[in-house]
Amino acid sequence: MDDISNTEITAGIINSTTSTRVLDALTQLREDIISGVLEPGEKLRVQHLKSKYGVGAATLREALSLLVSESLVTATAQRGFNVAPISLQDLKDISETRIMLEVQAAVDSVQNGDEDWEVQLIGAYHRLTKVEENSTNLAENSTAIWEQRNIEFHEALVAACSSRWVRQFRSILHTHSERYRRLSLQTVGISRDVHEEHKQIFDAAMARDADTLSKVLTKHIEKTFDIVHKLVDDAK
């Protein structure tokens, strides 16, 4: 089973090289769900969507079924598929669970990470810094780049965590966090503070300072919740 040069789907994670119609649809659907083009709770009509994504019914259904893996889509017998709903309570749950898993994973990484992990983390941090430094004039397309690099940075941070399962669950929750962030902050740019937070996380990780890392990482995750929470309250 050599997956190095091939597209493997483990609950939520895709390493794309080869492409299929299912994977294409899956990728587009995921992006549309996370970005809010497909609204939370919305019914996903196969008949309608298959023309939109240019695939047959069976292919679309397969893509939707795979998205159930990531809890981005729900399936109900005889009643089709829906975009996963959202709620403030759900975001709270996600944030808290994510803190538990991500802190554990990061600490584990710091304790087990070898030189290669360090190198990868430095690279990811560097690429992230590059887009965050010019955060004032953040154009639309660079937002997409920031999102990608932010994911990669967090992924690199926990890459040396010895538990495949913790990494997998963490990754799913991170995707959901991102969805909430994007649904809430669509118009808001990336504030300068975020870079400072990432710096603190990076520094603590490189210093192998587990305690500090726990603290700053926890705060970092809590902040997403706080911001969305505040926005929801303000909207009332």
Contact (CB, 8 A) for 5 and 17: yes
Q: Which does 201 bind (CB under 5 to 8 A by kind): a copy of itself, DNA, none?
A: none
Residue 96 found at the interface with a copy of itself (CB under 8 A)? yes
Residue 84: which H helix or E strand, with range? none
Q: How far is the CB of 75 from a copy of itself (least distance, A)?
A: 4
- Going from the C-alpha of 91 to that of each of 18, 86, 87, 104, 158, the distances in angstroms are 34, 8, 6, 20, 22
Segment contacting a copy of itself by CB under 8 A, of 82-90, 140-148, 216-224, 228-236: 82-90
Contact (CB, 8 A) for 185 and 80: no
Q: Which residues bind DNA (CB under 7 A)?
A: 18, 20-22, 43-48, 54-59, 61-62, 76-81
Retrieve residue 189's tokens.
């740019």
How many other CB atoms are found less than 10 A from the CB of residue 48? 10
Select from 27, 82, 120, 212 the one that contacts a copy of itself (CB under 8 A): 82
Q: How far is the CB of 220 from a copy of itself (least distance, A)?
A: 19
Select from 27, 40, 75, 199 the one that contacts a copy of itself (CB under 8 A): 75
Select from 31, 41, 112, 207 the one that contacts a copy of itself (CB under 8 A): 41
- Going from the C-alpha of 6 to that of each of 14, 62, 143, 176, the distances in angstroms are 10, 19, 28, 25
DSSP-derived letter for residue 136 is G
Q: Which does 96 bind (CB under 5 to 8 A by kind): DNA, a copy of itself, none?
A: a copy of itself
Residue 74 found at the interface with a copy of itself (CB under 8 A)? yes
